[in-house]
Every structure is written in C-alpha cells, then in structure tokens.
Chains A and B, each alone.
Chain A
Amino acid sequence: MEKLNRIWPPALVLAAIVAIWWVTVNVTESVIFPTPAQVVSGTLELVEDGTLWEHITASLMRVGAGFALAVLVAVPMGLWMGRVDGAFRTFNPVFQILRPISPIAWIPIAILWFGVGDASPVFLIFIASVFPMIVQTAAGVHTIEKRYLRAAENFGVSRSRLFRQVIIPAVLPEIIVGMRIGLGVAWLVVVAAEMIALHSGLGYLIIDSRNAGNRYDLVIAGMIIIGLIGLALDGLMRLLEGLKQVRWRYGR
C-alpha cells in the first residue's frame, strides 16, 4: 500500500504529460511531430528489425569501457592524493581546471586523436567521469575521522592492513557517490559523442532518424530510451549503497 502511494503521483504526472502531448499534436495538426502512439509503433519497428538492441548495446559498451577505465584511474589516484599532501597540492589545481571543461568541448580533440571509431566516445566518457571521481575519492580520504587513523596507529598495524581495513572501507561510501556522479555524466556524454560521429548507438539513432526522412517518432523514442536506461544505471549504482560494508554511512 505504501509502495503504491509512492508510485501513483509520478505515474499521474507522466500520464498527464502524455495526454497533453497527444492532445496538442492533434489540435495543432502537426505533420512532423509524432503522437505517443506513433512513437510506440516506431519503437516496435526498431525492436522488430533488431536495430534497437544494437544501438543500446553499442552505447552501453562504450560507457562500460570508458567508465571502467575511469574507475581504474580515479580510485588509486584519489587515494594517493588523499593520503599524500604533496600529490594533492600538485595535481588538485590541474584537475580543478580540467573538471569544469564540458566533455563536449573535448569532441574535436577526441576526433583529432582517436578518429571517428569507438575510441573517441570511450575517451570522452573517460574524461567526463574521471575528474569527479578523483575529486570525490580524495575528499573522502580527507574526511576520514582522525580518531580512526589514530586507533590504527595505536595498534601499529601494517600499511597494507591500514589500507584494506581502514582507509578503503572508510572512503568506500565516497567512492560510490563519485561513481554515481561519474556514471551519470558518462551516460550524458556518450549520447552527445555518438551524435557527432559513428554509425551506432542511441545518439546516432536520434541524429540519423532526423537526417534520414524526419523520423521524429524515432527521435523521441531514442530520447525516452536514453532516459529509462539512465534511470536504470543510477538504480544499479544505488544498489551499491545497500552493501552492508557501507550501510554505516548512509544510515541504517
């Protein structure tokens, strides 16, 4: 019952949006802008000829590769910057300058360096997600409460145990927050990157549908699918917040 109460208000808003959309298209007698029914039938068309899965898989693979690479670089880098003041003082200003540059601004450089293949979007996703994750991880190390570090010092444990049992678990909640932010940005960027080049992916689907005969039903279908997958990815990351090793941080 409580679950139902949480679901119906947003469901109602969505239904209202669809209704307004439908009525507006009918009243204005637009030739190009599709009705919800046309979007659904367009989507089914893509499902039937199998291209929808190809586009989704292509986008997810690029995000997966770029994001995984970014995690592999950002977590060790963030831990190092968090622990070693010299490293923080050296690299933090650089990252603070690079971070606000929109990943979209990197597209020309990505094409110059990596061409129009799969490497370009992977690079862009890497660039987009690595900085927030580094910053979040380093900040996480800095906010470890001193009493825990003192206790570890008091027991005289080895460096490896200090990392495994104190620093990493203490920072893990921050790393997960960083990963959520990073993956969100990565998903934004892959679509943008695919609009510029390439022959697959959800971004390509949108641009191609418009260019090849004003198929706005497929444009909107692509947008909705992007939104739904983005929601699912965020939900996946939120599952990590339920791990029992980090529950201490997010409340019981």
Chain B
Amino acid sequence: MDAKIVVNKLRKHFNALPVVDGVDLSVADGEFVAIVGPSGCGKSTLMKIVAGFEQPDQGEVLIDGARVTRPSPKGIVISQHGSVFPWLTVQQNLMFGLNEEHKDHAALADHYAAMVGLKGFENAYPHQLSGGMLKRVEIARALVVKPEILYMDEPFSALDALMNLKMRNELLRVLGEERHTVLLITHDVEEALYLADRVMVLSPRPTRIQASFSIHQPHPRKLSSPEMQQLKEEILGQLGL
C-alpha cells in the first residue's frame, strides 16, 4: 500500500521546552490510525504540525509525497470543542467549504446531512442542536469537501459517555460508505481499539512513538473479547498503568 501520510523525524520546541522529539510515522491510504498518549504529551501539537497549522523545527510531513507547509481542504481537522459556525444554519455550515468547482451546493449539503442523520435540521442554527448533533454537523461539513484525510483530535471527548459510544458507531458507518484516511488522537484507549486499524502509543513529553499495535479484528468489534482485552492491557502497560 502507498503511504498517504509520512512523518519524518519531526521535532518541535516551545522556547526551550522540547515537545515533539523525533516522531516517525507512516499512514497508508485508507488506513485508520489512532495515536494515544498521556495528557500534555504533545499529541495535539503533533496533530497541528501534521495538519499544517504549525511548522516543525526539524523534520517534515509529506502527504502523497508533497511537503505540508499549510493547512488544506485535503485534510480536515475535527477537534474536541468543534468549530461549527454558530451564526450559520446547518446547511450553510455544510456548504461553507464548497467553491465554484462544486455543482449544486445545496444538494451536496443535504446529501451529507442525511448521511449523518441530520435530515430535517438543515435550517436549524447550531445553538438549537445538542452536542451530539453538532458533532454530526462537523463531520458532515468535513465530508462534503471530500477530504482525503480526516484529522480527529479527541473528537468525541466533550460528549457524554453514551453519545461518545454512539458517535463511534456513526463514524464507522460513515467511513463504511466513504473511505477516508483517518488520523485520530485520543486519550481513550478503548476508543482507539474500537475504531483503529493501528494504535500508536506516544511517550510522555518530549513525545516520541513508543509502541505500535495492529488490530485485525473485523468491525463491529467487541471490546470485551479476550483478544481486545489483551491488547488493552498491553497498551495500558505501555502508558504505565
């Protein structure tokens, strides 16, 4: 398989504080990779660099072999607190990233609204929606522009526990309809195990990749199965628990 994202010897300091200390990683096209690590380890910084929002001090990020210097609609970030525009309706939010190259914006928006279960809410404003619905808007808004990569930074951690579980299944269902390469950052080991093809464990700051686990179980996965429990133990062990 071709590598979609390649990260080479990435280093980043903030003043004298080293945050990212030589991360190498490669994500195949269509692969779902989860990165777990202790809080404050530099996960989010790593994600910002990979998505092009911050520049590394050393090393580089390549997408399809081209060096990343700034963000692009090729890879859309979905983060914990979300960035659905509160002053636009659901439909206007979904059409936000579309330009002249796209035909019939409203139809595209409605198609993705229906895909994530927002049919009938096209004209609602975000403050009229629940947290879970907002997350759906954000995911749909990303999908509308047909990104090749989704960067998800703790996407569901602001949701309540039940909605968190529900959104995992929703995400898998949507990815079943349209395959994207996904880089997920999370502190939730079970979330990573449930969703990802591969789980990478980051060390405490300055962070580097400490271990990597491939998960071959088919979806839908049962986290209570012995294999998954075994993997969870190993990953938690890597995190020092």
A157 pairs with B85, CB closer than 8 A: no
Are A169 and B76 CB-contacts (below 8 A) given A154-B71, A248-B126? no
B99 pairs with A248, CB closer than 8 A: no
CA separation between A154 and B79, bound complex, in Å? 12
A89 at the interface (CB under 8 A from B): no
B118 at the interface (CB under 8 A from A): no
CA separation between A153 and B51, bound complex, in Å? 11
B125 pairs with A155, CB closer than 8 A: no
B88 pairs with A156, CB closer than 8 A: no
Nearest-neighbour CB distance to chain B for A227, whole angstroms, equals 35
A244 pairs with B96, CB closer than 8 A: no
B83 pairs with A147, CB closer than 8 A: yes
B145 pairs with A155, CB closer than 8 A: yes
Are A157 and B97 CB-contacts (below 8 A) given A150-B77, A247-B125? yes
B127 pairs with A154, CB closer than 8 A: no
A151 at the interface (CB under 8 A from B): yes
B96 pairs with A165, CB closer than 8 A: yes
Which secondary structure dominates chain A's binding surface?
A: helix
Interface residues on B, range: 20 to 34
Interface residues of B in 78-99 (CB under 8 A from A): 79, 81-83, 85-88, 92, 96-97, 99
A22 at the interface (CB under 8 A from B): no
A148 at the interface (CB under 8 A from B): yes
Interface residues on A, range: 20 to 34
Could you mark each residue 101-129 of chain B with 1 if its beta carbon is under 8 Å from any beta carbon of chain A, else 0? Answer: 00000000000000000000000011110
A150 pairs with B53, CB closer than 8 A: yes
Could you mark each residue 234-252 of chain A with 1 if its beta carbon is under 8 Å from any beta carbon of chain B, else 0? Answer: 0000000000111111001
B73 at the interface (CB under 8 A from A): yes
Are A244 and B77 CB-contacts (below 8 A) given A151-B83, A154-B51, A156-B72? no
Contacts of A157 in B (CB 8 A): 96-97, 99
A247 pairs with B85, CB closer than 8 A: no
Instruction: Identify A147's interface contact among B81, B99, B128, CB under 8 A.
Output: B81
Closest to B75 in A: A154
CA separation between A248 and B85, bound complex, in Å? 10
A170 at the interface (CB under 8 A from B): yes
Contacts of B76 in A (CB 8 A): 154-155
Closest to B84 in A: A151
Contacts of B72 in A (CB 8 A): 154, 156
Contacts of A165 in B (CB 8 A): 85, 88, 92, 96
Contacts of B85 in A (CB 8 A): 148, 151, 165-166, 169-170
Interface CB pairs A-B, < 8 A, 8:
A147-B79, A147-B81, A147-B83, A150-B83, A154-B73, A157-B96, A248-B126, A248-B127
Seen from chain B, the residues whose Cβ lies within 8 Å of a Cβ on chain A are: 51, 53, 70-73, 76-77, 79, 81-83, 85-88, 92, 96-97, 99, 125-128, 145
Sort A-B residue pairs by CB-CB distance and give the 9 closest, nearest first. A155-B97, A151-B83, A248-B86, A169-B87, A147-B83, A154-B71, A248-B127, A156-B73, A155-B73
